[in-house]
A and B are shown apart, each in its own frame.
Chain A
């Protein structure tokens, strides 16, 4: 395979816009650090490290969504479901920073843009949707699956919308497809990618919930009629 860069390169969005988003990202990540302190216990520290490492690995697994077009996991919804929104946003940010510094994946001045789209929109904003859906849907494994799937789709499309907004504010190119075509392309393709994200995320969260329900942050205080040892039970 020839996985190349997947995230926003430097020079696509202008300097001032990138700087504003970097400042927003820094401020919100600082808030995440403060809030994460309340969540992080002896068990969550290695779990958070694992969540970040797993997201890095699965981001390498591009899957086809259209002829000549692929997609890959973004990971925000998965991180939020597994380790909570604050720690989750920090997990995705860790992945993005390592990718930018060691893998030439995503620009350096563009880091704030990517962190806003994938970590902050992806994990923080969508966590509210996940909690709401978990509250509304039946407390069964199917209910959790649907909640995680829908949240994942929304997180990916919302992240893509984040890029469209950033390009509308500070896009450098004044040629190529117009903003309308960029928006249609980004949102349409990412709706398809979101379905893949939803399948991967729901599968992963259900697998962890089956093996170790105590390790799924979003299911804390959410007693499922689970019987972990019984395959296919309690549907």
Chain B
């Protein structure tokens, strides 16, 4: 069975670059769901609702918020850096969470553990 270490490491580096650097060039326009839920409302430059009636009117404030709310890192003023840190830490968090989850699900009786 061919090893996967090099492939996975390469993939992680690509993911980090996409989330931390390429994300800077992503469109800031509302996505498909937001477009539909915001239809009928007037928005300001920051996409905050200023008037009108739309589905998003009934949305609650996010109950958790979190350290990287809206893909910005709390405490970092610089917009590029703020998103870069949030994106990179998000990639690593998802990878580690997934790795631990899938490792714990995996059958152990057949394993030839390294």
Contacts and interface: CB of A to CB of B under 8 A. Distances in A.
B55 A46 contact: no
B98 interface: yes
A42 B15 contact: no
Given A1-B27, A1-B83, A50-B11, A6 B99 contact: no
B95 A53 contact: yes
B19 A60 contact: yes
- Interface range on chain A (Cβ under 8 Å from partner): 35 or more
B95 A52 contact: yes
B32 A53 contact: no
B102 A49 contact: yes
Select the residue from A42, A99, A190, A211 with max chain B CB neighbours within 10 A.
A42
B90 A98 contact: yes
Nearest to A108: B63
B102 A87 contact: yes
Main secondary structure of the interface of B (DSSP, over half): helix
Contacts of A173: 53-55, 57-58
Given A9-B60, A102-B67, A108-B63, A36 B105 contact: yes
A94 B70 contact: no
Give the size range of B's interface with the partner: 35 or more
B88 to A, nearest CB: 9
Report which residue of A71, A211, A214 has the largest number of chain B beta carbons within 10 angstroms of its beta carbon: A71
Nearest to B2: A214
A173 B94 CA distance: 33
Contact of B90 (A8, A102, A215): A102
Interface string A95-138: 10011111111011000000000000000000000000000000
A47 B106 CA distance: 13
B103 to A, nearest CB: 5
Contacts of A175: 40, 53, 57
Nearest to B15: A57
B93 A98 contact: yes
A57 B91 contact: yes
Contacts of B94: 49, 52-53, 55-56, 94-95, 98
B68 to A, nearest CB: 5
Contacts of B23: 1, 3, 57, 60-61
A225 interface: no
Contact of A3 (B14, B70, B92): B70
A171 interface: yes
A3 B33 contact: no
Interface of B: 1-5, 7-8, 11-12, 14-16, 18-19, 22-37, 39-40, 46-47, 53-60, 62-71, 79, 83, 86-87, 90-99, 101-103, 105-107, 110-114
24 contacts: A3-B28, A10-B59, A11-B58, A33-B105, A38-B107, A40-B106, A41-B110, A43-B3, A48-B102, A49-B8, A49-B98, A57-B14, A57-B87, A60-B19, A61-B23, A69-B31, A69-B32, A70-B32, A71-B31, A90-B105, A176-B54, A177-B36, A182-B55, A185-B35
The 3 closest A-B pairs by CB, nearest first: A104-B69, A49-B99, A11-B60
